[in-house]
Amino acid sequence: MPLLDIAELTAGYGGKTILDGVSLTAERGDIVSLIGPSGSGKSTLLRVLIGLTPPSAGTVRIDGTAVDYGDAAALKQLRRRMSIVFQQYNLFQNMTALDNLTIAPIRTLGVPRGEAEARARDLLAKVGLADKAGAYPAELSGGQQQRVAIARALAMQPEILLLDEVTSALDPERVGEVLDTIQALADTGITMLLVSHEMGFVRGISTKVVMMDAGRVVEAGSPAAIFETPSQPRTQAFIKAIIRH
Amino acid sequence: MTGADAFFTLDTAAFLAGALARTLWMTALGCTLGFLIGATLALLRRTRGRLLAPARLLAGLYVEAFRRLPFLVILILVLFSVQAVAPGLSLLGIATIAVTLAATAYLSEIIRAGLEAVPRPQVEGAEVLGLSALDRLRFVVLPQAWGVILPPAAAFMVMFVKDTALASHLGVVELAFAGKILVNKGVSPALGFGAVLVLYALVSWPLGRAAAALEKRLAPARHR
C-alpha cells in the first residue's frame, strides 16, 4: 500500500479550476518531484495536501486512510504526519530561530520545553545553523531562513515533507546550501513531495518525476524516463525548452 | 471674593481635582471597555464559520455606524435611551457609556487593521504546524500586530481625553465645564481656563509619552 495515495484530486479558487483530477502515489521513502510550467497546479497540489486550500473532489489517503479536509481534528492529525516548507519560508518574524522550531512541538505535540529545545538545537546543527539559534529571521540570509524553515518542518517529525519551490526566492549563490540540506534529508529515508525548477537537482534526487500541465498529470515515471524518453508531446516540449539552456 | 482671591483656595483645588477625576474616569474606563469590546468585535469579524455570519454583519454595522456619528450625538442618544430604561443612572455613568460606545467602534477598527497587517503567510505557517486558532493569535498574530495597533490606539485615547469635554453638554462637571463654572463665579477667564488648559496638558503629555515608550518597547521585536 502506498504511503500517500492521491486520487482524482480537484480544487480551485472562485469558480476557477486549478487542479483537475490529479492522481499520483508515493511509497514510503519516495522522493517525488513535480515539474511543469508555472500555473500548472503544482503548488496548489501541495496546498491542498496540507489543508490550506480545500479540495472540491477526489481523495487523499495516507496509509490507506482517507483524509477528511473539512474536519479540524482530522487536519490536526494530518499535520502531525505531513509538513510543508514554503517558497517564502514564512518563519515567524517575532520569534528567534529556536522558538520557530519549538513552538509547534510544545503547543501541538505537548513536548516538554527542554526536550523540544534540545531537539531544535540538534536540527539547527543538522542544517548548519547551530550558532543561529538566538537570531531573528530578519537577521538571517534567505538561504539561512529557508534552512531554518526546513528544520522547523522537521521538528514536527513528519513522515511526509512537502517542499514548495524552496529555492526559487533565493539568491543564486544560496541555492546550493539549501539543495545540500534537502539532499542530506533525502538520505534519511523521509518521503518527500517537492516542486522545483532546479532540473539537475530534480533529476539527481528523485525516485519519481511527475509532469503536470493545466491542473493535470501529463505523465509520471523515473527521472530517466521523464528526462530522456518522455512519451507525451507536452513533456517533450517542456524538457526540450529547459535543456536548451 | 472675586478674581485671584477666589481662585487660589482649597475649595477650588478640590473642585478642579474632582472635575479632572471625572474626565480621567470617563476616558480610562470608557477606553478600556472600548478596547476590550472592540477587540472582541475585531476578532469576531475575522471568523469564517457560517454560523457566525449574522454576528459578523452586526459587528461590522455597529463599527461603521458609530464611527460616523459625532460624539455629541452618541452622548445625546445614550442620554435618552438610558433615561428610558434606567432613569437612576448618574450623568457620569451615562457619559461613560457613550465614551465606551464610541471607543469600541474606533478601537475595533484600529485593532482589525492591525490584525490584518500581519501577512497571511505568517498565519498559514502557523496553521500548517497545527497551531490552534487561539495559539496562532497568541503567539504569531498578536505579537506582530501590537506594533501596528498601539500607536493609533494610544493617539485615539489621548485625543479622547479632550473629547470628553463634550460630556459637559449633559451636565457632567468634567474639566472643561469646571473651567466655565469657575469663570461664571467670577474667576478671570485667563485664570480659570488657564488652569483647565494646564491640567489637560499635564494629563495628555505623560500619556502621549507613555504610549510612545510602550510603542518603542513593543513594536520591533523582529529588529532586536
B109 has pLDDT over 70: yes
Taking residues B167-171, report their average pLDDT. 89
CA distance A55 to A44: 10
- The vertex-A63 CA angle with A62 and A66, nearest 5°, equals 45
A5-45 confidence digits (pLDDT tens) = 999 999 988 888 999 999 999 999 999 999 999 989 999 99
Taking the C-alpha atoms of A37, A216, A181 and A111 in order, what is their torsion angle to the nearest 10 degrees? 140
Considering only CB atoms, which chain A residues are within 8 Å of B126?
A: 92
Q: Would you call A138 and B143 a contact, using CB atoms and an 8 Å cutoff?
A: no
B114-144 confidence digits (pLDDT tens) = 999 999 999 999 999 999 999 999 999 999 9
First to last CA, chain B: 61
Name the pTM for this structure.
0.84
Q: How confident is the model at residue A184 (pLDDT cuts 50, 70, 90)?
A: confident
A191-201 confidence digits (pLDDT tens) = 999 999 888 88
Q: Which three cell numbers stand for residue B39?
A: 477587540
Q: Would you call B124 and A103 a contact, using CB atoms and an 8 Å cutoff?
A: no
Q: What are the residues facing A61 on neighbouring strands?
A: A5, A66
Is A108 in the B-facing interface, judged by CB distances under 8 Å?
Answer: yes
Q: Which amino acid is at A125?
A: A
Å from A88 to nearest chain B CA? 8
How many other CB atoms are there within 10 angstroms of residue B120's CB atom?
Answer: 9
Q: Which three cell numbers stand for residue A99?
A: 522558538
How crowded is the C-beta side of B80, counted as CA atoms within 13 Å? 5
CA distance A197 to A77: 31
* Spatial CA neighbour of A235 closest among A224, A226, A245: A226
Chain B, nearest residue to A76 by Cα: B130
- Please tell me the predicted confidence (pLDDT) of residue A172: 83
Is A50 in the B-facing interface, judged by CB distances under 8 Å?
Answer: yes
Q: Would you call B124 and A52 a contact, using CB atoms and an 8 Å cutoff?
A: yes
Considering only CB atoms, which chain B residues are within 8 Å of A103?
A: 129, 131, 139
Helix, strand, coil share of chain A (percent; to 5): 40, 25, 35
Q: Would you call A152 and B129 a contact, using CB atoms and an 8 Å cutoff?
A: yes
Q: Residue A105 contacts by C-beta under 8 Å, 6 or more apart in sequence?
A: A111, A116, A119, A120, A155, A156
Question: B117 — phi, psi (to 5°)?
Answer: -75, -15
Element (H, E) at B81: helix B71-85
How many other CB atoms are there within 10 angstroms of residue B211's CB atom?
Answer: 17
- Please tell me the predicted confidence (pLDDT) of residue B209: 87
CA distance B179 to B168: 11
List C-alpha distances in Å: A156 to A77, A115, A150, B72, B92: 12, 13, 11, 56, 55
Is the distance from CB of B94 to CB of B30 less than 8 angstroms? no
Q: Would you call B132 and A107 a contact, using CB atoms and an 8 Å cutoff?
A: yes
Q: Would you call B131 and A90 a contact, using CB atoms and an 8 Å cutoff?
A: no
Å from A235 to nearest chain B CA? 32
Is the distance from CB of B211 to CB of B155 less than 8 angstroms? yes
B178-214 confidence digits (pLDDT tens) = 999 999 988 899 998 999 999 999 988 888 888 888 7
Chain B, nearest residue to A152 by Cα: B129
Residue among B125, B126, B129 minimizing CB distance to A156: B129
